[in-house]
Chains A and B, each alone.
Chain A
Amino acid sequence: MSGGGGTFRINHSLINKIRHHLSSGGSKSFYSSGLIMFFHPAPELPIVERRNWLIHQHYIHKDFDTCKVIVKEQLQETNGTCEYAIYVQALILRLEGKIQQSLELFQSCAILNPSSADNLKQVARSLFLLGKHKAAIEFYHEAARLNEKDWEISHNLGVCCFFIKDFKNAEEHLNMALQINKHDRTFMMLGQVHLLAGESDKAIEVYKRAVEHFPENTELLTTLGLLFLQLGKYQRAFEHLGNALTFDPNNYKAILAAGSMMQTHGDFDVAMNKYRVAACAVPESPPLWNNIGMCFFGKKKYVAAISCLKRAHYLSPFDWKVLYNLGLVHLTMQQYASAFHFLSAAINLNPRMGELYMLLAVALTNLDDVDNATRAYEQAVTLDVSSPLVNLNFAIFLYNHVDKKGALDQYQEMERKVNLLRDTSSNFEFDLELMDMAQKMGAALQVTESLVWTKPGKDSKSKPNSAAATKPPGTALGTNQALGQAMSSAASYNKNLQLQAGPSMPLEPEPDVDRAPSPPTDPPGSPLPAESDNPKPKSSKRKAKVEE
């Protein structure tokens, strides 16, 4: 009551009634307050918190300018003792990115009211944002002493531990937070902690629980889908990604992952529909344009494929996968000189992949450079462990260059790899054209026994196989097709060359193959699952699975 009792008009006829009320509890009439004013000359001090509600109103409405004006007035009125005004001022400063200033203000809040856990929490939060995780942890512990069961404190402690790579404590704190209250953010964080600690099965469990609690959270669904995708559980991955897309049809990550799965199954049109949505949302994404390019490639629109891949390459010039695909498409277009450049660039970036050398060898074969092609093939065979394609191509190449013995060696190596693949996974499917070519090769090399994949046990599949085999090369869809085509064209080309058999002009030794820089960290395993969807030759197996 700031000395203004007189301005409030009063109906005198009601005074009796007011007197009556005066006796009942802590109420007093306007009039009587005026009287009290008269006897006490000392001005009554305004209540410090009197405009806290207004500050809060403006703050949550994000009307920061008005908010700051009121805060300033309030601080002037109370001589800087209004805790909440300082608190909001600090929150606004933090939102504006002035974290150091906000930290100082929160600290002064903590001085004004040392018993408030919230002030300590905010001090810790600002420290956390400044990257001082250890100091933040200390403050959170202090806040936890004031307020035992607080979800936020446990969660943020977990996050801080996560950032200083103390995964064990992080897990503990986050689980504690989940016990107090289940928040999607905590689930997300706990999953990440498990992933970084290398426990993807635990992470999947966490995300599964999270999805049960938050069935509509697209981020959780997408993450779980991508995890399943990485583990090769395509059915479940697709289920979760599909759910994510139902709730948010514009989710870029889910679109890319689901699209790449459709693409490997050959549903290029459906995948393209999805990519169009993503292209509106994130028009400058290299993996997106790479996938769109390979969709066009699958649909045999090679020029469009090249322009999309080139866009991807422009956006991410050091991505070997884009270069790999560009090399592949150019091989298909019989632009061997261009293919050579893209492939050698890819090898420079990723010198540990046998298939890249094989493609380079195919390009070199077509460029009439037998010596370097041989060296590339040799490199490919040494690096590759599981792809029978590499050995088959080498065998064909050797056969065409009158090295029957070498061809036979490679052919047997290929058979070994095929057997290995068949043993490791029971329903492994091989590319039709690969089988066809291998059979022809076997006949040419006069290998008597029939190959493993034509055994009677696989009769159920022999029908579609033979149907596909009778098709002229190039009609079947599928990304592996291109390689098959590249491979077969290499073979036919070499057959022609066989007749000339003249000594070809020795060229420069290919520097890219020989002096390849030392390998980077890891072969194909890429960090972003959404990116690891380049259609590769081996993708054919998934396609076959759907057709069954």
Chain B
Amino acid sequence: MSESSSDGGKWLDAHYDPVAGLFSFSSCVDLADLSGDGESRLVVGDLGSGSSGMKLKVYRGTALLSESTLLDLPSGLVAFFMDLHEPRVPAVAVASGPCVYVYKNLRPYFKFTLPGLEVNTLEQDVWQQAREGQIDPLTLKEMLESIRKKADVPLSVRSLRFLSLETNDMDEFVQLHKQQPIRRQTVITCIGTLKKSTADEDGVSCLVIGTESSDVYVLDPEAFIILSKMTLPAPPTMMDVTGQFDVEFRITVACRNGNIYILRRESDKPKYCVELASHPVGLVRVGKNVVVGCSDESLQGFTQKGKKLWQTILPAPITTMAAMDLPTRGFQAVLVGLANCEVQLYRDKNLLSTIKTPDVITSICFGRYGREDGTLIMTTKGGGLMVKILKRTAAFADRDSAPGPPLAQSVRLNVPKKTKLYVDQTLRERENGVAMHRAFQMDLSRMRLAAAKAYVKALESSLSPVSSSLSEPLKMNAVVQGLGPSFKLTLNVQNTAACRPVMDLAISFLYDESLYRMKHPYMRIPLLVPGLVYPVQTFVECTSDKGISDIIKVFVLHEGKSCPLLTAHINMPVSEGLMLN
């Protein structure tokens, strides 16, 4: 991987392992000094294949330090200080399913399970009756279904599963499950931390948990009791937390309905709401403002009260976003991973630099790693791990992104050159314009005359395959089948009159007798009922082996009249077979 010109050599490539086998999102990556020796470690919740191989991995430098299995998919991971004990070593909280698993010193320490949700009392009653054998499974099903239709509280997993069962499996299911109490559980969708009472770097933090049931909980870090519960209109997907729990805090939550809500200390309902035009993909706070990346390839800035400040269009869909905060330099910006294998750095709406990557980035984390403050850690879609270090000399010029004239303005228009032929023709027209015009008009009228004459002739001698005479309105088309030497000739005759039948018709053929032999050169046509198509068939044999073909003329005649009603010319195909003599 070479340093591309666009990032201006601002980053040192510290490490790249394309086969690290690390599949993760930004929400499952964190940096923390886990052993208290002043060296930060990388903690990653690895999603594995999505159904198996979920692991909690810790990296130190370029090496994998430890690895422990997770029971379920990690939906979020944070490092936080849970107590005031010395040495100051942060714990790691992994949100997974309905639980938060807390690790201390890389050992399992505590598991917190979300409290169960409210269970529908009607549902409980129904199952109670089932347990006591008062109702059979079919009645149970009916009752549950009626509860599902009207109830405000959704049914439990057990009832839902029961409703989807076949009739003969129901009894067994009821026997198996009826003894247990009904529970409704929800899962954690995102997790964050909130300082308890001090803003210190190593102050004790509360865990903030967003759940599938659209709630946000704030947990006490020591007793793991719920300090505060807030409710959102939709399940949260990402959150950003700032402030202190005891003083004032602000939780910015992106939700699954495409809105962003801002929660504050005093209220358990969202204080502000931002309706976005598309789903938020990334949510990052920079100073007091919130930067949101949307799935319509845009990056938008909002104040902490939800007022839109700016919007900029990105070259590709966003895959992930993270904040880049260098307090020593007073530098804050947003890193945006894009689907076109780029990571772009934005300060407000201005693009500062671009990093090209060999694969699509799925997670970004910027912070102190090892003993280096400005480290950028990225994992790729293919499971790679990439570490870059910001050069101490790197400076990001805050140039305004207002572009000059677009490049296309200097592209020459594709206008063909003037040719000598063109000039000659132009001159000729200038000199002889009148003559050309008159010749053209003359020829035009001659052509029209010729066309009109031909048309009249065709009409007069019934050469057309459609007859529009009032007494016998007919239509005919012909189909030739076969490769030769014998062909099947089908004439489809139709009477197009509204109600009058046509009778006393005959068909005769005119052809070169040295070339073709026909079985029935003269045929009578039966009475034609209006609208129906009458196929009239005959066989033609080609007598020549010279590979030539000719036209066969078909005439539809009225008995007793010599002038044909219709004429069709059939272009016979060349006979491809040889005569068998």
Contact = CB atoms under 8 A, between A and B. Distances in A.
16 contacts: A4-B71, A9-B108, A24-B224, A27-B224, A47-B98, A47-B157, A53-B75, A54-B73, A78-B164, A81-B160, A114-B148, A276-B411, A279-B411, A307-B415, A366-B433, A508-B441
Contacts of A33: 111
Contacts of A250: 406, 408
Nearest to A70: B50
B111 A28 contact: yes
Chain B CB within 10 Å — which of A52, A296, A369 has the most?
A52
A276 B408 contact: yes
A382 interface: no
B75 A78 contact: no
The 3 closest A-B pairs by CB, nearest first: A280-B408, A26-B115, A53-B189
Contacts of B113: 1, 26-28
A11 B104 CA distance: 11
Interface residues of A, number: 87
Interface in B396-426: 403, 405-406, 408-416, 418, 422, 426
A81 B156 CA distance: 11
Given A47-B185, A49-B186, A50-B72, A29 B111 contact: yes
Contact of A249 (B406, B426, B440, B445): B406
Contacts of A50: 72, 97-98, 187
A183 B275 contact: yes
Contact of B187 (A10, A49, A281, A508): A49
A77 to B, nearest CB: 10
B225 A25 contact: yes
B165 interface: yes
B439 to A, nearest CB: 9
Nearest to B95: A53
Contacts of B154: 113
Interface in B43-71: 47, 50-51, 68-69, 71
Interface stretch (A137-145, A199-207, A334-342): A334-342
A330 B400 CA distance: 48
A14 B105 CA distance: 13
Contacts, number: 207
B179 A42 contact: yes
B438 interface: yes
Interface string A477-520: 00000000000000000000000000001011000000000000
Given A56-B237, A79-B161, A151 B275 contact: yes
A35 to B, nearest CB: 14
Given A26-B113, A48-B160, A336-B437, A508 B444 contact: yes
Contacts of B164: 78-81
Interface residues of B, number: 90
A118 B257 contact: yes
Given A216-B311, A276-B411, A336-B434, 7 more contacts: A40-B179, A50-B97, A73-B51, A81-B161, A115-B152, A273-B405, A334-B430
A94 interface: no
A283 B405 CA distance: 19
Given A52-B189, A335-B430, A508-B442, A61 B281 contact: yes
Contacts of A10: 108
Interface in A321-352: 333-338, 340
Interface string A111-127: 00111001000000000
B110 interface: yes
A238 to B, nearest CB: 18
Interface of B: 25, 47, 50-51, 68-69, 71-73, 75, 97-99, 101, 107-116, 148-149, 152, 154, 157-158, 160-161, 163-165, 176-177, 179-180, 185-187, 189-190, 212, 223-226, 235, 237, 256-257, 275, 277, 279-281, 295, 311, 317, 319, 339, 403, 405-406, 408-416, 418, 422, 426, 429-430, 433-434, 436-438, 440-442, 444-445
Contact of A56 (B177, B185, B256, B436): B256
B327 to A, nearest CB: 30
A80 B161 CA distance: 9
B225 A24 contact: yes
A272 B413 CA distance: 9
A130 interface: no
Contact of B157 (A45, A307, A507): A45
A124 B252 CA distance: 31
B437 A340 contact: yes
A303 B422 contact: yes
A52 B187 contact: yes
A274 B409 CA distance: 7
Nearest to B114: A26
B131 to A, nearest CB: 13
A30 B72 CA distance: 14
A62 B339 contact: yes
Contact of B295 (A62, A279, A508): A62
A277 B409 contact: yes
A26 B160 contact: no
A10 B190 CA distance: 25
A1 B101 CA distance: 12
Contacts of B433: 334-337, 366-367
B426 A333 contact: yes
A53 B275 contact: no
Interface of A: 1-2, 4, 7-11, 14, 17-18, 21, 24-30, 33, 40, 42, 45-54, 56-57, 59-62, 66, 69-70, 73, 78-81, 113-115, 118, 151, 181, 183, 185, 216, 249-250, 272-277, 279-281, 283, 292, 296, 303-304, 307-308, 333-338, 340, 366-369, 505, 507-508
Residue in A151, A250, A275, A292 whose Cβ sees the most chain B Cβ within 10 Å: A250
A58 to B, nearest CB: 9
A447 to B, nearest CB: 33
A155 to B, nearest CB: 11
Contacts of A80: 164
Contacts of B226: 25
B71 A45 contact: no
A521 B98 CA distance: 68
A95 B464 CA distance: 53
Nearest to A366: B433
A338 B98 CA distance: 81
Nearest to A281: B408
A280 B437 CA distance: 39
Contacts of B403: 249
Contacts of A69: 50
A334 B430 CA distance: 6
A273 B160 CA distance: 66
A505 B409 CA distance: 53
Given A42-B179, A79-B161, A11 B108 contact: yes
Contacts of B185: 47
Contacts of A42: 176-177, 179-180
A367 B281 CA distance: 70
A10 B408 CA distance: 65
Nearest to B257: A118
Contacts of A183: 275, 277
A118 to B, nearest CB: 7
Which of A7, A48, A185 has its CB near the most chain B CB atoms (within 10 A)?
Answer: A48
A159 to B, nearest CB: 15
Contacts of A57: 25, 237
B314 to A, nearest CB: 13
Contacts of A18: 110
Nearest to B68: A9
Q: Most A CB atoms within 10 A — which of B179, B225, B405, B429?
A: B429
Given A26-B116, A47-B97, A54-B50, A277 B406 contact: yes
A40 B111 contact: no
Contacts of B50: 54, 66, 69-70
Contacts of B440: 337
A11 B429 CA distance: 102
